Structure formats: C-alpha cells, structure tokens
C-alpha cells in the first residue's frame, strides 16, 4: 500500500491515492511504500520518473555503496532501521530516495519508526514539512528506537547480573540458561550497534551535501552526537556481557572443581580401610589373627578409625567445603 502525504497548514496530512488526479503535486512531500507490489512499484517509477528500484544485492557494506547520487540533484540512501521490541530486535533495509523535492521511503516490511511518523502526520502532530528534514527526522527516530532497545538490554542484564553475582545461579541447567541469555543479549547488542553504524553512515552522507542549511546541519550533528554517545553505551554493554559470561563460566568451573575435589578426598580417605581389608584378606597359614576371637571386630573398628581420622583432618583443613 502506498501512502501519500502532502503539506497542509504547516503540517503533513495523508492524501487518498484514489484522488491522485486532483492532487496538486507541488504540495506532495512524502511517499511511503511498505511492501510495494510490482504494480505499485511500476506506478512509482512511471509517475515520478524514479530510477530503477535497487535491490539488496547491489549494495555492500562500504558507505559509498550504500549512498548513490545520480547527479540530477536526487539522493538515494539504503539504510537499516531497527524493528521489533521486547528482546526481539532485528534490522530491515529501507531505501530513502530524495527525488524532485519528494521523499520516498521503500521497504519490504513494516517499520515501526516509519509507521509512528505516519500516525503523527495523520494526527497533525508533526511540523516537519520539508522532505530533507523528514529524512533526518526518520533517521533520528531510528536512533531513539535504538536507545530504547539498549535500555531494555540494560534492564534484562540487571536481572541476570543479580542472579549470577549473588550466587543464585543454581545448578548447571540454570547456568546454561544464563549463558544462553547472555549470548542472546550480546547478539541483540551487536544488531543495535550495526544499525547505529548504518544510520551514522547515512547521516554523514547527508552532512556532506552542499545545499544543507546551517539549522539542518546542526540537527544532523546532534543526531550524530547521540549516535556517538550510544556507541559508548554499546561498548560498555559488550564489556559487561563478556564479564557476566566469564563470571558464569567461572562459577560453573568452581562447581565442577568442588565435585572433583569431593571425589578426590573420598578416594584418599578410603585408601587406609582398603589397605587394612587387603591385609586381612590374605590367606597365609602363619597369620596370628586368623584364630583370634576378636579379629573380625578389631579389623572393622580399625577400618572405621582409618576413615574417620582422614575425614576429620580434611575437614579441619577446610578441604571438604
């Protein structure tokens, strides 16, 4: 579905595409095309003389590959936007095309930030009425969404951190769950950081445009400063995640070491009674204790004492704790 937004009383209002013939095209500011059908794509190309819609395969990770300036005064930017919520984040590519003083946003999936901007326009709660300003505003809102996502990771890590550092990690299954959760948070943090990098590249390209006015350049600089700040938060999260991962694995190793230690102490403590049982288990003819009336209880008492003394000694040394 294609959404058309026009300038009206210093606001953006959605215009019905069915009444396209009645539209004063000079007031058209924004065309949003989420999941456009082949027919809708062709309508955009024919109506606005848009360049061929570029695909994902045509773009690499380099900034120069993500930004195209055909030379006719238009600019095409392919940038990732963050989608999802509540520990389920991903990125989706959005093609931002500034052509004939109209902003075109083309994306295969619904983008929460763009949907929010559409709702603001329909409720006349936005005063952004220039295409270039609208592009910067959308990128800035994506940065704000990334900031909210980082906050959710902070909140989730607080629970995990309390469980690990207070030694409430429980058994091996709990430790495995914590490790899986930490790995998931690290993946989410990486997704958010990559998204911020994409937004930074897009804004940096806009900042180099010669037609930018001073207020617009200052607005872009503020968003770039926010990205730099969030990048520091993301780096801190990576460090915290690595610390929690190391702490969890260390606790698991300590627990395993304690189990091995108990088995080692028990095996050492059982050596004396084994030796005693081996001696009295020999069947030589000249063994005085063979005919002794109290030989059997004596050997049992001797073995009990030989077990108790090492355990008492190990316990005094703290080796059983």
What does the pLDDT read at residue 255?
76
Average pLDDT over residues 57-64: 41
What does the pLDDT read at residue 54?
44
Task: Tell me the pLDDT of the chain averaged across its residues.
Answer: 81
CB 252 within 8 A of CB 244: no
* Selection from 130, 133, 129, 88 nearest residue 112 by Cα: 88
What does the pLDDT read at residue 66?
61
How would you classify the pairing of strands 102-107 and 28-34?
parallel
The domain ranges of the chain are 3-255, 270-317
The C-alpha atoms of residue 276 and residue 261 are separated, in whole angstroms, by 24
Task: Give the highest mean pLDDT range of 50-64, 83-97, 135-149, 160-174.
Answer: 135-149
* Selection from 77, 92, 80, 145 nearest residue 117 by Cα: 145
Higher-confidence residue of 74 and 229: namely 229
Q: What are 289-309's pLDDT values in tens digits?
A: 777 888 888 888 888 898 888
The burial of 27, by beta-carbon neighbours within 10 Å (0-12 exposed, 13-18 middle, 19 or more buried), is given as middle
Using a pLDDT cut of 70, give the percent of the chain over it. Answer: 88
What does the pLDDT read at residue 143?
93
Higher-confidence residue of 60 and 309: namely 309
In words, the CATH class of domain 3-255 is alpha beta
Average pLDDT over residues 155-160: 82
What does the pLDDT read at residue 184?
86
* CA 255 to centroid of chain Cα atoms: 29
Global confidence as pTM: 0.73
* Selection from 246, 261, 256, 252 nearest residue 174 by Cα: 252
Q: What are 83-142's pLDDT values in tens digits?
A: 887 767 888 888 888 888 889 998 888 999 999 988 888 777 666 678 888 888 899 999
Ranges 139-148, 170-179, 194-203, 242-251: which has the least confidence: 170-179
Average pLDDT over residues 29-49: 85
Higher-confidence residue of 174 and 133: namely 133
Q: How far is CA 143 from CA 80, 136, 137, 198, 212, in A?
A: 11, 11, 10, 10, 21
pLDDT band for position 60 (50/70/90)?
very low
Average pLDDT over residues 273-290: 80
Kindly state the tokens that stand for 249.
């694995």
Q: Coil, helix or strand for 132?
A: helix
Q: Coil, helix or strand for 232?
A: helix
Average pLDDT over residues 187-195: 89
């Amino acid at each position: 579905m294609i959404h058309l937004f026009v300038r009206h009383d210093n606001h953006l209002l959605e215009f019905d595409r069915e009444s396209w013939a009645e539209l004063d095209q000079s007031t058209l500011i924004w065309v949003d095309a989420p999941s456009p059908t082949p027919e809708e794509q062709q309508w955009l190309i024919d109506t606005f003389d848009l360049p061929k819609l570029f695909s994902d395969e045509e773009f690499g990770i380099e900034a120069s590959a993500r930004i195209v300036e055909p030379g006719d005064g238009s600019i095409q930017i392919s940038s990732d936007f963050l989608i999802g919520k509540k520990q389920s984040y991903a990125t989706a590519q959005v093609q931002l095309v500034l052509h004939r003083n109209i902003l075109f946003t083309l994306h295969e999936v619904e983008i929460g930030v763009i949907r929010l901007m559409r709702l603001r326009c329909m409720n006349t709660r936005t005063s952004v009425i220039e295409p270039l300003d609208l592009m910067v505003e959308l990128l800035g809102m994506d940065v704000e969404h990334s900031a909210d996502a980082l906050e959710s990771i902070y909140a989730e890590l607080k629970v995990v951190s309390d469980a690990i550092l207070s030694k409430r990690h429980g058994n091996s299954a709990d430790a495995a769950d914590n490790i899986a959760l930490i790995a998931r948070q690290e993946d989410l943090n990486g997704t958010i950081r990559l998204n911020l990098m994409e937004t930074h590249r897009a804004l940096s390209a806009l900042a180099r445009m010669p037609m930018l006015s001073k207020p617009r350049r200052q607005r872009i600089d503020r968003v770039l400063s926010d990205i730099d700040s969030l990048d520091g938060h993301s780096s801190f999260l990576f460090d915290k995640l690595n610390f929690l991962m190391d702490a969890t694995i260390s606790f698991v190793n300590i627990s395993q070491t304690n189990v091995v230690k108990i088995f080692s102490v028990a095996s050492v403590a059982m050596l004396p009674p084994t030796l005693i049982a081996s001696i009295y288990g020999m069947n030589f003819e000249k063994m005085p204790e063979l005919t002794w009336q109290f030989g059997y209880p004596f050997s049992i008492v001797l073995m009990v004492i030989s077990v108790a003394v090492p355990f008492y000694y190990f316990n005094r040394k703290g080796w059983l704790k």
